[in-house]
Structure 1
Amino acid sequence: MTDILALFSDPAVLAALITLIVMEVVLGIDNLIFISILSNKLPESQRQKARRIGIALALVLRLGLLSMIAWIVGLTAPVFDLGIVGPPGTNGEPAFETEFSWRDLILIAGGLFLVWKATTEIHHAMDPVHTDDLLDKESPVVSLTFGSAIVQILLLDMVFSIDSILTAVGMTDHLPVMVIAVIFAVGVMLVAADPLANFINRNPTVVMLALGFLLMIGAVLIGDGFGVHVPKGYIYAAMAFSALVETLNIFSRRAQAKKAAASNRGD
């Protein structure tokens, strides 16, 4: 305990903790958006439970991975090399990294899954009529089972957890700092999960925007796996700007609806 107190008395460690908390919270946004969209496809009685389990799994995975830091760092070591040579005039340098580590493969697989899932959900939103509906219009159609949702959340939790822990390892060497930052970030996810999911559910256009975010995040994960690194600041700045524009659209639609309602009462 004395060692921990002495550790956090160092201003440099405190600065690293604050910076890492901010980074972990920002990185958790991707995870939270996916959990929100997926849980909203479940029956209403199961949604909160799925979100709680998904976030709890994210915490367990992150803390478990922190206990295996040496193994996590080892995931960045090259596993194989494609040996591709670039075209003439490029000094033999290919357009992307040809050496792949386990981290790269996990990011590529996670990115492909995100792109597939987001594309499927967009198709469902654009064309919601399914064969089951046509066969029996009276029976309620559950678009996702609880077990399937948990499995998909677990898979993406793993991808986002590895990215989160590697970010933490790159910013500090102190395990207590990483643990506190991870617990704080997951706590923020837990608090924000229900309000975010309910907001997305109440505003259909936000669903499409969130799916667009997932598509972009998936593409970034794939690019990162191939060694094409897009600064995350650009990604989150674009997401924040898009969210701001959509917020203005929501306020505009509400104002128009109130005006139309007042006009109807006047008539």
Structure 2
Amino acid sequence: MDTLETLVLDPNAWAALATLIAMEVVLGIDNLLFISILTNKLPAAHRENARRIGIGLALILRLVLLATVSTIVKMTTPLVTFFDHGFSWRDLILVAGGLFLVWKSTREIHHHIAGGDEHDAPADSGSAAQAGFVAAIGQILVLDLVFSVDSIITAVGMTEHIPIMFAAVIVAVTVMLFAAGPLANFIARNPTIVMLALGFLLVIGMTLIADGFGTHVPKGYIYGAMAFSALVEGLNMMSRRARAKRAASRASSRAS
């Protein structure tokens, strides 16, 4: 209790908490994009539950990992050596998660280019819908593990106070919970955003693989490129809507 009181009265602790929350929210964007794209493929009646379960699993997983933070930190110790490079458990998890993300993103991109219908599974398809729901949760859990391990190891480097880490994770995942629905709906209303988001996930997957092999790519470059691409796509969306309004106005004028 004395430790908690000391942290509450310490301005440095509040600064660390704010920084860590911001970092966790930014790192959570990757996971949120993946969850949104994956759950939008499910029947409408299952999407909200899948998002809640996926984000709930992310919270539970991160809190469990934080409870074993001393073990997580040891995961950076080299375990095996390939091509004169030592791989730790963290590296192996990042490489495996990156490969999974690259495979999943590539598969989804091919699905969209081939003209597959995201909503071809009926809401009452029974066992097929249930199997799709379970598969989606399983894939979300795999990426939750990868992003959780990486974000917690990063958090350990920013503060040594476990209560601050717990608070930051809870706040960040709560933000994800409230943002998941609007983000998924926005993606569903704007199909071109899906391809952009899949491109982001493909880049993130390659970054995870590079990080696992010891080549660290600063996250600022990646998120900067993502923000710029999103800005350009936003301008394209505004342009398309303006053209559609002008076309509708001209059609209305001719009809009258």
TM-based fold match above 0.5: yes
Query: Which of residues 168, 171, 177 in structure 2 aligns to 1:181?
Result: 168
Gaps of 5+ in 2: none
- Residue 70 of structure 1 and its aligned partner are, at CA, apart by 1.0
Q: Distance in 2 between matches of 1:3 and 1:170?
A: 20
CA shift in 2, pair 1:191/1:124, >3 Å: same
Runs of 4+ in 1 over 2 A off after TM superposition: none
| Counterpart amino acid of residue 60 in structure 2 | V
- Residue 83 of structure 1 and its aligned partner are, at CA, apart by 4.7
Query: Which of residues 230, 241, 251 in structure 2 aligns to 1:264?
Result: 251
Residue 51 (structure 1) aligned with residue 73 (structure 2): no
Residue 71 (structure 1) aligned with residue 58 (structure 2): no
1:22-33 alignment, distance < 5 Å: 22-33=22-33
- Residue 7 of structure 1 and its aligned partner are, at CA, apart by 1.2
Partner of 2:205: 218
- Residue 15 of structure 1 and its aligned partner are, at CA, apart by 1.2
- Residue 3 of structure 1 and its aligned partner are, at CA, apart by 2.8
| Secondary structure, counterpart of 1:16 in structure 2 | helix
Query: Which of residues 83, 89, 97 in structure 2 aligns to 1:110?
Result: 97
| Secondary structure, counterpart of 1:227 in structure 2 | coil
Q: Distance in 2 between matches of 1:112 and 1:118?
A: 10
Tell me the alpha carbon deviations over residues 128-158 of structure 1, each in whole angstroms, 9 at most, x when there is no partner: 359xx9xxxxxx897x710100000011101
| Secondary structure, counterpart of 1:128 in structure 2 | coil
Query: Which of residues 123, 140, 161 in structure 2 aligns to 1:153?
Result: 140
- Residue 2 of structure 1 and its aligned partner are, at CA, apart by 4.2
| Secondary structure, counterpart of 1:81 in structure 2 | strand
| Secondary structure, counterpart of 1:145 in structure 2 | helix
| Secondary structure, counterpart of 1:245 in structure 2 | helix
Equivalent residue pairs, number:
247
1:5-154 alignment, distance < 5 Å: 5-84=5-84, 98-129=85-116, 145-154=132-141
Query: Which of residues 156, 161, 167 in structure 2 aligns to 1:169?
Result: 156
| Counterpart amino acid of residue 247 in structure 1 | G
Q: Distance in 2 between matches of 1:82 and 1:54?
A: 34
Partner of 1:92: none
- Residue 24 of structure 1 and its aligned partner are, at CA, apart by 0.4
| Secondary structure, counterpart of 1:246 in structure 2 | helix
Q: Distance in 2 between matches of 1:2 and 1:213?
A: 44
Q: Distance in 2 between matches of 1:8 and 1:245?
A: 42
| Counterpart amino acid of residue 20 in structure 1 | L
- Residue 217 of structure 1 and its aligned partner are, at CA, apart by 0.3
Higher helix share: 2
Report the TM-score when normalising by structure 2. 0.93
| Counterpart amino acid of residue 110 in structure 2 | H
Tell me the alpha carbon deviations over residues 238-260 of structure 1, each in whole angstroms, 9 at most, x when there is no partner: 11111111111111111111111
Partner of 1:88: none
Identical aligned pairs, as a percentage? 64
Report the TM-score when normalising by structure 1. 0.89
Q: Distance in 2 between matches of 1:129 and 1:62?
A: 35
| Secondary structure, counterpart of 1:99 in structure 2 | strand
Query: Which of residues 167, 180, 185 in structure 2 aligns to 1:198?
Result: 185
| Secondary structure, counterpart of 1:196 in structure 2 | helix
Q: Distance in 1 between matches of 2:223 and 2:156?
A: 21
Q: Distance in 2 between matches of 1:258 and 1:107?
A: 46
Residue 231 (structure 1) aligned with residue 218 (structure 2): yes
